Amino acid sequence: MFHGTMTALVTPFRNGKIDEDAFCAHLDRQIDAGIDAVIPAGTTGEAATLSFEEHKHLIGITVEHVRGRIPVIAGTGSNNTAESIELTRSAKTLGADAALLISPYYNKPTQEGIYQHYKAVAEAVHLPQIIYNVPGRTNSNIQPETVARLADIPNIIGIKDATADLAQLTRTFMACGDKLNFFSGDDASVLPFMALGGVGVISVVSNIAPKTMHQLTEAMRSGNDDIARRAHFALQDLTDAMFVQSSPIPVKAACSLMGWMTYELRLPLTPLSDGELDDLRTVMQGFNSDVETLELA
């Protein structure tokens, strides 16, 4: 059910509130481009700055607007296990197809603490759950042995791995066998990630280049290495540009440059400098793909 290109959605704001019209238009744009699933209220969606009410409302808007056309994987992670359970329970009630849960951040739990956190959420809420390892944001790393233990919990069905560490990824594949689905969380390494056995990507860059990222993952799934390489190379400069500052600062700027939403972030995130914005505009204007072009407003 969960495979291919899945977009970690930005959350449009207008005058400090969620811009529901812009968000729904963005959902339609993604679905029309062939995206395989969407993820609201994740890191790219600025979940850390959403109130509980906004967080749940955003998931509800997504489920209601998507209307079963593609799966909805709700971001429900927290560094607080009780909050993660509450958000995951709400996601199930609202009709989400699965939940994506970031590993607890700031607390710096041990491997046992990470295991017990995910185990508690999985046992409390019977909903397919994807664990998320992103050490660059959490300051902790889910080790292969811990992932293997989590793979034995029935409703933990996958891992989003954003380590960009192919050696650790290999060890994690070896530890888990076919018990988990593996999703890349690093846009720059989707091709080698899937070559090792990953089934897709939870992507930032697909917010603005969904067709090309979808072409890459579909080519990898069908064994068309030539098309996959061409899509990979086409995306490289754009992918680099999406991470010149903390995500979602650049990707939201890109969405704004195309006229899709206002360039409004919530503190402590701040916009790109004028020079960085000019560089991003140049990269977007130079984007060269067989399947889509980026038309700036």
In 3D space, the residue among 191, 164, 159 whose CA is nearest the CA of residue 176 turns out to be: 159
In 3D space, the residue among 80, 10, 24 whose CA is nearest the CA of residue 257 turns out to be: 10
Backbone φ/ψ region at 80: left (φ over 0), alpha (ψ -120 to 50), beta? beta
Coil vs helix vs strand at 142: coil
Known catalytic residue: 115? no
In 3D space, the residue among 100, 129, 248, 126 whose CA is nearest the CA of residue 187 turns out to be: 248
Nearest-angstrom CA–CA distance, 180 and 263: 37
The two tokens of residue 45 are 């969606």
Classify burial at 196, counting beta carbons within 10 Å of its beta carbon; exposed 0-12, middle 13-18, buried 19 or more: middle
Known catalytic residue: 132? yes
Pairing status of strand 17-18 against strand 13-14: antiparallel
What percent helix, strand, coil does the chain show, rounded to 5? 50, 15, 40
Given 132, 211, 252, 263, which residue is catalytic? 132
Query: Which residue in the block uniquely carries the two structure tokens 């593996």?
Result: 182
Query: Which residue in the block uniquely carries the two structure tokens 């690093």?
Result: 186
Given 160, 211, 252, 263, which residue is catalytic? 160
Query: Which residue in the block uniquely carries the two structure tokens 């990979």?
Result: 232
- List, by residue number, the catalytic residues: 132, 160
